[in-house]
Structure 1
Amino acid sequence: MKTKAKKKTRSDRRFLEVERLLRHYRYYKSGIVNLKKQLDYIMPGCVANYEIVEGTTGTFSIRSTTEKYAIDRIESKRALDIYEKIQEYELIVNCIEQSLESLNEEEKKFVGIRYFDGKSMKYAADVLGYSERSVFNVRNEVLQKLTISLNGVLQLLK
């Protein structure tokens, strides 16, 4: 007897994408902080320039303007890439935060427990005082709402 695997519907895939965004929310926030530190580190773009001074060992210095220009271009490209990633992460975080504002308090609690804290559905049901079946209904309602409000972000991440 053959069993057919249930084909994932478009809404199932969207729910999974929204859940992934919610689970990674705090990592996006820490990623923003870390990327800003990297950007601060490379943005000055200063190339150390030592010279031979009596009584010292001497140091490396780039005199060619072409080489300096190439190094500046590489640093500028890296800085631009980092800046674009910061913008992407900030967009995701801001959209998630804005979307959460549209949820009621119970739904917000559910999102916090299930996705931000990474707890099980059973644990969420116990904390919220619902049966496991009822908490699955809450989950579905939350994911339907967030799929609509995060649609633009989901399109960008494709």
Structure 2
Amino acid sequence: MCGKPARRQHVVNNGDRACDAYSALIDQVGSLANVVEAIGNGIARPTGQSLARWQVLAEVEQEAAPVGAIAGRLGHTRQAVQRVADLLVEDELACYRPNPAHQRAKLLEVTPTGRAVLHRMQTAYTQLALRTTEGLDAERLHLARETLRELQRRLESELP
């Protein structure tokens, strides 16, 4: 495996075309992730929320779930998601209800107020998506996604 740069570090070419292209892509993905986070927080801010709160609300929009399951789907620690979930409950955007499958792992559920806030963020996101995808070929976007998915699968196989 070729060496990859640390996040936010610029790529150094090593002469292997695939490795150089891979390194440049990883660098670009890191830059894109920073922009996506800033945009997400910008969309969420007018509703008094953050990207983290938006993500947790979206995870329980269709079906209540335990915090551990939400954390697993988002790729975050259970403790981090628990803090966000507790804040959502405190602000009455979500609530906990008993979990018939597990006595201690309560289910987080979005409230009607939370659903309205989530809808406002989703509407703003849809408008952004329409603007930023105008003129782009959907097939190229699908190919980019599949390429990123394959790289993720390969990198995950490298994890200890």
TM-score range, shorter chain: 0.3 to 0.5
The structure with more strand, counted as a fraction of residues: 2
Q: Which has the higher contact order (CA 8 A, sep 6+)?
A: 1
The structure with more helix, counted as a fraction of residues: 1
Structure number with larger C-alpha Rg: 1
Return the TM-score normalized by structure 1.
Answer: 0.41
